[in-house]
Chain A
Amino acid sequence: MARRLTLWRWVVLGLAALYFLVPLAASVIFTVDVPGHGVTFDAYSRILSTEGFVSSLLLSLELAVATIAVVLLLMVPAVVALRLGAPRLRPVVEVVCSLPLVVPPIAFVAGIVNVLKWGPEHLSRTPLFQTFTAIQDEDFPVVLVLAYVVMALPFVYRALDAGLRAVDVRTLVEAARSCGAGWPQALLRAVLPNLRGALMNAAFLTLALVLGEFTVAQLLGFRPFAVWIYNIGGSQAQMSVAVSVLSLLVTWALLLALAGAGGGRARTASSRG
């Protein structure tokens, strides 16, 4: 009985390993074994010099940094306040942070496209029109940051909430306050250091989300990293797969670092599918 159970377990694990490893291995083979050329690492060595790689990756990283900064600035005070003085607001914040889950990214971007149309249609004579143009700047599309912050809310909320559960915020703040610290000081120097793991967690999840995000960026006509991979897929199959493999490895490294650093497990960041 016990042996049969063990055997069954290994069969399941073996099949799973096969299913999950074969596409990765095959992708690597696909990129180095070019028909007619034999084994070559051309696809990898050409990546850096390919037009658009550096600029799209930089754009994605800038968007990620901005998104992380904004989402943490919005969420950290809110979740800390929920623990401290406003527990009654908890359902409100919970609902607000769950709403993005109900609107799939493609529907969300359809709404954004429509909002952006209001600019030229209704507001062209008002100062708001400038704002509409400014947030769609090609070099740094603020509108993407706004969208990504919304999409990151559920995961950031869960990460921070889980982190705060392990910390007695009220006692920490009261201790800091009675030692003469002001509110900002109490938050920055007593609460935040205790949240380091949760903050890292939230930041990494947001980073993974932004680096891989395709739907919103493509349909709004911007070209961050994922859109760039998609675009070169048509003309340079080998290289697009090579970049896919590399981006996967980078994401893995990030999330494994997160699993190691935070002690927690990587939660699913999105339904980027």
Chain B
Amino acid sequence: MTAALPRADVAPVASAKRRRRAPGWLAVLPLLVFTAIAFGLPAVAIVDGAFTVKDATTGAAGYTGANLTASLQGPYLTALLGSVKLSAVSAVLGVLLGLPLAQAVAGSRSRALREAVLTASGVLANFGGVPLAFAFVATLGNAGVLTMHLGLKDSGWNLYSFWGLVLVYLYFLIPLMVLTITPALDGLRTQWREAALNNGATGAQYWRHVALPVLAPSLLGGLVLLFGSAFAAYATAAAMVGSAVPLVTLQIADALSGNVLVGQENVALALSLDMVLVAGLVMAVYLPLQRRSARWLDA
């Protein structure tokens, strides 16, 4: 702004323009500088490290694809696939279970119920991490209240397993789904249903031919969002299963703590890069879908 002042007498129009724009740049600049340092440096470090291998004897560093290759082999590949499988199963179940719950709420005429469920969903979707893991350990773990009282152990129940993790992940994924899909369900006009029923459609036909196609982008978007959320989850798994279930997040943590073979110190970064690629793919699918469903529902 001050920089524009001396020229004011020469080019009043340009100066007026500049006066408007200068504060804009200046106000956004700190944010950009901050993210360049606090986010940019670690991001560069991931990419740089993922392609660097240090020679154990000479200490010289060189660029190579060896880390990435290693991160897609053996136990690392198992972990990556384990994470993808866990996230996919949890996300699909989250969508299948979250949709009826959201529909039960959206279709209800009770405002209080609706507000209560949506607020609770907002809270529960945020409830992840260590406390969630411990709550489930206290409930269904080896010495958990339900395990003891119902004698689940004899029937072969084990919380520290793939399906145990799915059960726990659903605790924050279902509320996330309810939050994501409720606006879309609200966008379904009652007239569409009435029109379908008047034309002789059954309830099932209405869902099959009208509601689900309209909801499809939102459902798919929700699925992708849930997948990403489960894929990135670390604290719950770390506090609950340790390393009983192979997951990429646990592998990265393990490698960061120094439990790797000589020459593979940077495999953690290669695995991180793998994760970023998957997460990037997720966002690349999610954002257009979200925009698309938003357009549908606004129209």
Interface, chain A (partner B; CB < 8 A): 5, 8-9, 12-13, 16, 19-20, 22-24, 26-27, 29-31, 33, 73-75, 77-78, 80-82, 84-86, 89, 92-93, 96, 98-115, 118, 146-147, 149-150, 153, 183, 208, 212-215, 218-219, 226, 229-230, 233, 237, 240-241, 243-245, 247-248, 251-252, 255-256, 259, 265-273
Interface, chain B (partner A; CB < 8 A): 20-28, 30-32, 34-35, 37-39, 41-46, 48-49, 100-101, 103-105, 107-108, 113, 117-120, 122-132, 134-140, 143-146, 169-172, 174, 176, 179, 228-239, 249, 252-253, 256-257, 268-269, 271-273, 275-276, 279-280, 283, 287
The residue on B at minimum CB distance from A147 is B38
Q: How far is the CB of B165 from chain A (nearest CB, A)?
A: 10
Some 5 contacts from A to B, beta carbons below 8 A apart, are A81-B25, A103-B276, A112-B42, A244-B131, A270-B128
Q: How far is the CB of A41 from chain B (nearest CB, A)?
A: 16
Check B118–A105 contact: CB distance below 8 A.
Answer: no
Check B232–A105 contact: CB distance below 8 A.
Answer: yes
Check A259–B256 contact: CB distance below 8 A.
Answer: no
User: Contacts A30-B145, A74-B30, A111-B269 known; A251 to B135 CB distance under 8 Å?
Assistant: no
Check B171–A13 contact: CB distance below 8 A.
Answer: no
Cβ contacts under 8 Å, B146 to chain A: 22, 26
Cβ contacts under 8 Å, A266 to chain B: 119, 122-123, 126
Task: Tell me the dominant secondary structure on chain A's binding face.
Answer: helix
Q: How far is the CB of B286 from chain A (nearest CB, A)?
A: 9
Check B128–A272 contact: CB distance below 8 A.
Answer: yes
Report how far A135 CA is from B143 CA in the complex, Å: 41
Check A26–B145 contact: CB distance below 8 A.
Answer: yes
Check B275–A107 contact: CB distance below 8 A.
Answer: yes
Report how far A252 CA is from B167 CA in the complex, Å: 21
- Which of B21, B27, B129, B257 is within 8 Å of A272, CB to CB? B129
User: Contacts A26-B138, A214-B235, A247-B131 known; A273 to B230 CB distance under 8 Å?
Assistant: yes
Check B126–A255 contact: CB distance below 8 A.
Answer: yes
User: Contacts A96-B31, A102-B280 known; A267 to B137 CB distance under 8 Å?
Assistant: no
The residue on A at minimum CB distance from B275 is A107
- Which of B48, B108, B130, B283 is within 8 Å of A102, CB to CB? B283
- Which of B28, B118, B174, B234 is within 8 Å of A215, CB to CB? B234
Check A106–B127 contact: CB distance below 8 A.
Answer: no
Report how far A100 CA is from B31 CA in the complex, Å: 14
Check B25–A244 contact: CB distance below 8 A.
Answer: no
